[in-house]
Amino acid sequence: MGSHGHTYPLLPLAVAAREQGHDIVYAVDSGFHAPVAKLGFTVVEAGLSILDAFTQANSLHGTDQFQREMLRQTASTAFGSVLPRAYARDLAPILERDKPDLVVFEILNPGAGVAAIQAGIPAVCHGFGKVDPMMAPETMVTPLLEYLDEVGITVPNGQFFGLGAPYLDIFPASLQDLDHLREVERIPVRPVPFAEPGQVPDWVREHRRPLVYLTFGTAFAGLELIQRAMAGLSRLDAEVLVATGPQVEASLVADAPDNVHVMSWVPQADLLAHADLVVHHGGSGTTVSAMTTGVPQLVLPQGADQFRNGEVVAAANLGDHLVGEEFTADAVHDTVARLLNDAAVHDAVESIRLEIAAMPSPADVVPKLVELAG
């Protein structure tokens, strides 16, 4: 599905499958054709961008304008109805033409799984983080169940978006809701942080003071959020790297102190290997990448699954989270200063890193996919 958080987690498995001699066709909307094609995959057009899906969902609710108070309703319609229908529709002729042996679909893209079921092709669901009854609100599940009923598909209780398919789980078992997955075949696979090729600045590799990385991701960043967090971080005895993302022009972040380095984009997967702490919005991609790399986290959630991810980080002592009015410049400063020197947090972070490192690699899992393909 066309977003960084829902496309990038699947790419390491696709690369591993290709390296073992399998042909890969990647279906996604045009906004993500370039990064996927750079990996050498055949890319086909399918579905909608998240923005287009939200626009269609808004129109179904009688408005052409984005309204923050309608965000939950809009997102529920987009992910529960608009996107599943679009992907199922677009993939049907592709599956008929190419007749693949297996379809791997991301858990919030059940339309691809529907297309596979209708075509009689085995399907496997790929996760991006923790799955539990809170992953999708009832307002999102209801339109999906209505669609599944229309096409005559029934699924195990609670497995609405995964459709009851075998589940490729990149989340560490000690933090996962295994009871929620008891009715499906869970296949652990080690998460591999993915980044488009790019250079990490030389000073990052050579830094002497702690390096704190700040990002609000690709979809939830805002100038005021960045400035508020930066105001707290800049007072630390640390180097601070700020990645503004595509939503905020880096040049707008003015008057940064000497210890704050502002960039529009960095290869995050490479950068995290050099970071001492990451301050972020709580997107699953950044959350899991920090766990994988062994970096403490301060989560400043803004929407979607980010609040739950912040709770997971705090409960496991992998860092902390600041929610709503708790997110002030002073609180960011004080929390990061504490986390940088908290031995218990560093021990917990290292324990999770080792647990993830022991999970089967994508290359280890490819033969299982061949088995499931029959």
Q: What is the pLDDT of residues 276-295, one digit of tens each?
A: 999 999 989 999 999 999 99
Is the pLDDT assigned to residue 330 strictly greater than 90? Answer: yes
Is the pLDDT assigned to residue 198 strictly greater than 70? Answer: yes
Name which of 80, 73, 86 is nearest 145 in CA terms.
Answer: 80
**Would residue 267 be called left, alpha or beta, if left means φ above 0 and alpha means ψ between -120 and 50 degrees?**
beta
Higher pLDDT: 322 or 199? It is 322
> Which residues are CB-neighbours of 85 under 8 A, at least 6 positions away?
111, 147
CATH for 4-191+359-373, options being 3.40.640.10, 2.60.15.10, 3.40.50.2000, 3.30.70.270 = 3.40.50.2000
**Residues forming a β-bridge with 42:** 25
Tokens of 340: 């940088």
Q: Is residue 184 a contact partner of residue 164, using CB atoms and an 8 Å limit?
A: yes
* pLDDT at residue number 229: 92
The Cα 211–Cα 238 span in angstroms is: 6
* pLDDT at residue number 291: 98
- Average model confidence (pLDDT) for the chain? 90
Helices (H), 181-235: 202-206, 223-233
Task: Please give the distance of CA 170 from its chain centroid, rounded to a whole number.
Answer: 11
The Cα 263–Cα 14 span in angstroms is: 30
Is the pLDDT assigned to residue 65 strictly greater than 80? Answer: no
For CATH 3.40.50.2000, list the domain ranges present in the chain: 4-191+359-373, 202-357
Instruction: Please give the C-alpha separations between residue 226 and each of 47, 128, 229, 253, in angstroms, as whole numbers.
Output: 32, 25, 5, 8
Mean per-residue pLDDT for 206-221? 86
Q: What percent of the chain is predicted at pLDDT more than 70?
A: 95
Beta strand ranges found along 62-166 (DSSP E): 103-106, 123-126
Tokens of 168: 């490729």
CATH fold of the domain at 202-357? Rossmann fold (3.40.50)
Find the largest Cα–Cα distance for the chain: 61
Q: Is residue 122 a contact partner of residue 101, using CB atoms and an 8 Å limit?
A: yes
* pLDDT at residue number 68: 56
Provide the residue count of the chain: 374
What phi and psi, each to the nearest 5 degrees, are found at residue 278? -120, 130
* pLDDT at residue number 222: 76
| Listed ranges 45-49, 193-197, 264-268, 359-363; the one with the highest mean pLDDT | 359-363
For residue range 124-153, what is the model confidence (pLDDT) as tens digits? 999 999 998 877 778 888 999 999 999 999
Over its C-alpha atoms, the chain yields an Rg (Å, rounded) of 21
The Cα 18–Cα 6 span in angstroms is: 20
Cα angle, residue 96 at apex, residues 92 and 100 outer, rounded to 5°: 100
* pLDDT at residue number 32: 87
* Four-point Cα dihedral 137, 288, 231, 332, nearest 10: 80
Q: Is residue 267 a contact partner of residue 196, using CB atoms and an 8 Å limit?
A: yes
* pLDDT at residue number 206: 86
**Residues forming a β-bridge with 104:** 124
* pLDDT at residue number 111: 96
Mean per-residue pLDDT for 9-18? 96
Mean per-residue pLDDT for 27-34? 90
Cα angle, residue 217 at apex, residues 231 and 158 outer, rounded to 5°: 125
